Structure 1
């Protein structure tokens, strides 16, 4: 995995207001899946370190049966994580039916989907000198394309999509620990991420805000070398016409969304704030949004700056 960690879960500042961990009345069921090479084994090890009973490579057909067994032993196995991959395409094709059976039985579950960019996945397979499980006689990229097609629907319906492109193994383990700690995840965790549009949209963003309408400190010589974390740049951005109004209205618009996430048992969301290069405006606004969102009930907010430091 890569040697830097600057994406989801990498904290440059953390604000906690009114944390209320969810205390399950029955066993928690977490399904861990995603792209091969995206870090399922690392996630499984981190969960196991924090008290989860982890079952790896379970065929989807056995998911309902295992869940029933665990429910009967909820005191002994309060937290179950099931790791599933696509080494058997025929078996994995039944995942939709397996999840439908869980829902029909009243079993509450969450799906953690681990993803990464194609370039990162290719590099990880090449470094490990291992073939992709679906590449057959083709290239690694062929296997990745086949896997993406197979997992598209599951990714779209996942409770949490975690992009591990910029994580090393330690960064991913830390992110898993923050999300699924010993006490269980907080009701809602938000990651407010700044980024630069010229470097591409964040793959795992639930909401994207464009703050390129604000004056750009890049064109102010004394501010250009600094970042949105510096007071002079922050003040320049936030006192600009429309800046405070944007922040206030954006937080207000998100309030029913956050309430809906809590009702639907969604525990994580990424709000991306973009400017041209991800150095000035998006950083300052992301920091301000984090402060405002942290005042919402039962919310933990982390702030990350994806492109800070790039030229």
Structure 2
């Protein structure tokens, strides 16, 4: 993995990009099979608005949109490849137009060795977009010739030969995430079993083993958000032990999510009606999880308010 500035390349050309203090426009290109789609997915996970296979003629228009609406699209990544060979020949003019208009951008070029690219195409059982009637190696050679100038003027050249999908996603995170290391976003949701399991739950916990405030007349009208109900649930035998052990059990899961570049999970906490016990326990689990490093937590109560 290398990062190359225009000055280091020794080339003076109107293609030379300016590296912005905070990335606003990123152009992603490189060899077919080097991981553009994986890079695009990783960028989306970190808040980039990603446009794939954009014709070069539209690059200026799209960059103007970002420049004039920074609040709506603060970070734009444009992925360009050689599937439209004739269109790709216009990339030089498109980049020169960006430079002349004062638009700041970075150019990420993804590369890999020929042997690795050939193996990836063979494993995927698909042809190289430029091989036509020849071999995969013929298409790779033609693509290298076509992209040589772009690679020479790239802000960042990333060799993905030794990366699997997760390794490449991690590298993109390190390069382009303003938040640094991977953050796992958790949605802790309470629900009532009588209304069915949440369809998007990654983990489900059942807290119907706790005493039900429904059977306490003064608590029945209230919810698990009410202090009296919350205290009733949390002081019950086994409640605190359950919360502590459940949060501890999630620690290796969250570590694994970070390693595998998984960014989202929904934790569903259920009781009978989703009004008392599950709400109070979900709130307590959310509070504990929010204290974990590199974790952001939102809390939702799916069935609160249902009769």
RMSD: 1.9
Please give the secondary structure, in 1, of the residue aligned with 2:59: helix
Of residues 42, 59, 69, the one that matches 1:46 is 42
Of residues 102, 105, 125, the one that matches 2:101 is 105
1:163 aligned residue: 159
Please give the secondary structure, in 1, of the residue aligned with 2:50: strand
> How many angstroms does 1:91 deviate by?
0.2
Aligned residues: 165
Q: Summarize the Cα distance change of 1:36–1:151 in structure 2 as closer, same or farther, 3 Å threshold.
A: same
Question: Can you list the C-alpha shifts for 1:214-240, whole angstroms capped at 9, x where unaligned?
Answer: xxxxxxxxxxxxxxxxxxxxxxxxxxx
Paired residues of 1:23 and 1:183 also in contact (CA < 8 A): no
Please give the secondary structure, in 2, of the residue aligned with 1:107: coil
Of residues 80, 85, 98, the one that matches 2:81 is 85
Of residues 53, 57, 63, the one that matches 2:59 is 63
Paired residues of 1:8 and 1:175 also in contact (CA < 8 A): no
Give the distance between the partners of 1:137 and 1:174, measured in 2 at CA. 36
Structure number with the bigger relative contact order (C-alpha 8 A, sep ≥ 6) is 1
1:198 aligned residue: none
Larger radius of gyration: 2
1:305 aligned residue: none
1:117 aligned residue: 113
Q: 1:1-311 to 2 correspondence within 5 Å? A: 24=22, 28-183=24-179
Paired residues of 1:31 and 1:81 also in contact (CA < 8 A): yes
| Structure 1 runs not aligned, ≥5 long | 1-6, 10-21, 186-311
> How many angstroms does 1:72 deviate by?
1.3
Paired residues of 2:2 and 2:156 also in contact (CA < 8 A): no
Question: Can you list the C-alpha shifts for 1:225-270, whole angstroms capped at 9, x where unaligned?
Answer: xxxxxxxxxxxxxxxxxxxxxxxxxxxxxxxxxxxxxxxxxxxxxx
Structure 1 length normalisation: TM-score? 0.51
Question: Can you list the C-alpha shifts for 1:53-75, whole angstroms capped at 9, x where unaligned?
Answer: 00000011100010001111101
Structure 2 length normalisation: TM-score? 0.52
Give the distance between the partners of 2:171 and 2:149, measured in 1 at CA. 24
Give the distance between the partners of 1:53 and 1:167, measured in 2 at CA. 24
| Structure 2 runs not aligned, ≥5 long | 4-19, 182-307
Paired residues of 1:134 and 1:144 also in contact (CA < 8 A): yes
